[in-house]
Amino acid sequence: MELGERCHLVSHVAIEGPTKIGADNAFFPFCSIGMAPQDLTYAGEPTRLEIGEHNTIREFVTINRGTVKGGGLTRVGNHILVMAYTHIAHDCVIGDHVILANAATLGGHVTVEEWATVGALCPVHHFIRIGAHSFIGGGTTITRDVLPFSKTSAARDVQAYGLNAVGLERRGFSKERIRKIHHAYKVLLASKLNTSQALEKLKAEADRGEDVEMLIRFIEQSERGVIK
């Protein structure tokens, strides 16, 4: 196990290896870091967990190492807040500046892209992708990929309710960038076009901007379908 400089282990912290941890991380009581994956196929192989820098890992969090079939590595980025009772399963990849609220539960092989927020008590199905700058409301069960920039929350049916405009403003997105993304969401969610037709319409428009290009790529690469 490798532990970087200025890490703070408050008390009763369990860390097992192989685990590599960067500098300036805080681990609160009773968190369990780098333990063997909860996978019936795991047979004691020396898989790994890597954690970046400037992360806060709160009470009773569990972060498991990877599995051979998943590439052997669970990776947690930088500047991440992992709230109490959260579970990060084997082979997950967590991007920078992510917030995982209390008791968020990530199945194996989940990818959470940068600046995303997963609300409290959210179970996330294995192999899911959660797009950058998205916000998932508490208690939402996630079984398909979550669109970048979206607000997604459970009512009776899970659906994307529109643009995460407040979050984008807080992160310094210009009004013009937000306008272009908002237009793309109107085409995707508010028009009578199906997803394929909406994508064709967006791809035919000039000056879409890199954010809309990212949104289009995300949808086209989705294997489980996206929440709309």
- pLDDT for 157 equals 66
Residue ranges in the chain modelled with pLDDT below 50: none
| pLDDT given at position 192 | 87
Q: Which residues are catalytic?
A: 90-91, 108
How many separate helices (H) and strands (E) can be counted in the chain?
4, 22
Return the pLDDT at 154: 87
Q: What is the pLDDT of residue 156?
A: 59
Question: Residue 181 has what pLDDT?
Answer: 96
What pLDDT sits at residue 161? 80
194: left (phi over 0), alpha (psi -120 to 50) or beta: beta
pLDDT at 146: 98
DSSP letter string over 51-63? E-SS-EE-TT-EE
Please list, in sequence order, all residues whose beta carbon lies within 8 angstroms of the beta carbon of residue 147, skipping any fewer than 6 positions away. Answer: 131, 134, 160, 215, 218, 219, 226, 227, 228
